[in-house]
Amino acid sequence: MIRTEHRGAVAVVTLDRPERRNAVNHDALSALRAAVDEAVDAGTRVLVLTGADGHFCAGADLSDVEDEGFVASLHELLVALRRAPFPTMASVEGFALGAGTQLAAACDLRVASATAGFGIPAAKLGLMVDQWTVRTVVDLVGQSVAREMLLSADVMTGERAWAVGLVHRLGALDDALGWAERISRLAPLTLQGFKIGLDEAAAADATSSTYAAAFERAWTSADFAEGLAAFGEKRTPTFEGR
């Protein structure tokens, strides 16, 4: 499910659920969080997160997403990636949808193929991502593109993601590993300090009461139940706003 390989000071963490296009469930989130913690203990200088068999992560495994507990576990992982005491890098090929885009956005750096696909299609299911993700996406690409991503549920290519600033470099895993290896030779305490400064310059972590209420309303709605049912039945959902 999760494989970790150490290449010198670089830890390569691979999501390996090819039968689900590396979609994450509760167990995958727990294993990823453990991999981040193990990388800290191992003295890692850079962590590269990637996916097996041509996809990064197709999102949440909807067969195992039934309540807000999944979102809480995902949020803990996202924060762990962002606050790790070393740079984290996402190497993206194929789909990075929903939770996949969230995982990539939580990393400090992103390398993607031109044909990769980024998107947050929550509105197609009737659910919501946490406010930390909304703020992170706004910090990365600005209000205009963030509104496009969240309100249209469209998928953008890796090439466009690079053009709007979501992706730092276009390339494959070897390109990401080459960059990670070069970064791993830089002064670790300097990088750790810069990460602290960058995190403190970003938007606040707290969730507003109004967003929390909207989040609760979405996750307990009939529309969300309809979205899950339609996904399982491979049909277009009919949302009624209740």
Q: What is the mean pLDDT of each run of 10 residues along the chain (242 residues)?
A: 96 96 94 97 97 96 74 94 97 97 98 98 94 96 97 98 98 98 98 95 83 93 92 92 93
pLDDT at 68: 65
Burial class (CB in 10 A: 0-12, 13-18, 19+), 120: buried
pLDDT at 190: 98
Q: How many CB atoms lie within 10 A of CB 207?
A: 15
How many whole angstroms separate alpha carbon 1 and alpha carbon 196?
Answer: 31
- CA torsion 118-164-29-38 (nearest 10°) is 140
Q: How many CB atoms lie within 10 A of CB 58?
A: 22
How many whole angstroms separate alpha carbon 138 and alpha carbon 63?
Answer: 29
Residue located via tokens 């990064």? 56
Domain 2-172 has CATH 3.90.226.10: yes
Residue located via tokens 């167990």? 27
pLDDT at 136: 96
Instruction: Name the packing angle between helices 209-219 and 68-83 (round to 10°).
Output: 130
pLDDT at 92: 98
* DSSP E strands, the chain: 2-7, 10-15, 46-51, 88-92, 95-97, 109-112, 117-119, 156-157, 169-170
For residue 78, give both structure tokens: 């996202």
pLDDT at 9: 97
